[in-house]
Amino acid sequence: MNKNHIIEEKHYLYKLTDGELDYYGLSKYPYLRYRSHKLSSNNCRSKLLDKDKMVMEVLKTLENVSYIECLKQETELITNNECVNKQVSYMSEEDKKNYWSQYYKDNQAEIKFRNKEYYNKNLEHCRQKGLTYYNSNKERLNKRHTCLCGGKYTFRHKCDHIKTKRHKEYLIKDSTYPNI
């Protein structure tokens, strides 16, 4: 949806309240939306309100404005009033930065914990992957090759072998010998 489009159908800004907590929203069909707010499957922040006491008040009808304008007006309601909405629908870049820096401050411990958990899980995963690779390629990885210089090396120590004195001297003596 292009947020700059002028809306053809009316949109409504509404407020839900249970007498203590308030929630603000924007909808084309506020009364249908009201019913979905009351469902037990409702997963938005309005679930914090007492469903039995919850009433809806339509605050404003919006028409012939852009959708982004609707979102801005909804955001103004949310930021200027005490309410349970946490996600602000429209934010300027600076608001977003402030929002996230505050979010990280408020959730620092949890974020750190999650990152650590992720790191540990991944570490185990990588270790397992490495082991599986090693086990299924063990023979190839441990096979001892005999080099033309007379030295021996395994796949994993090929680089070390190339740097040995013996191998280097051989290269100087026999310049036709290709790099292994």
Interacting residues toward Zn ion by CB under 5 A: 147, 149, 151, 167
Shortest distance, CB of residue 171 to Zn ion, whole angstroms?
Answer: 8
Shortest distance, CB of residue 134 to Zn ion, whole angstroms?
Answer: 24
- Please state, in angstroms and as integers, the Cα–Cα distance from residue 13 to each residue in 30, 58, 73, 104, 131, following that order: 8, 6, 8, 30, 58
Task: For Zn ion, give the closer residue by CB, 5 or 166.
Answer: 166
CB-side neighbour CA atoms (13 Å) of 59: 17
Residue 7 main-chain phi, psi, to 5 deg: -75, 140
Task: For Zn ion, give the closer residue by CB, 71 or 147.
Answer: 147
Instruction: Report yes or no: 88 and 79 within 8 Å, Cβ to Cβ.
Output: yes
Shortest distance, CB of residue 172 to Zn ion, whole angstroms?
Answer: 12
Task: For Zn ion, give the closer residue by CB, 135 or 179.
Answer: 179
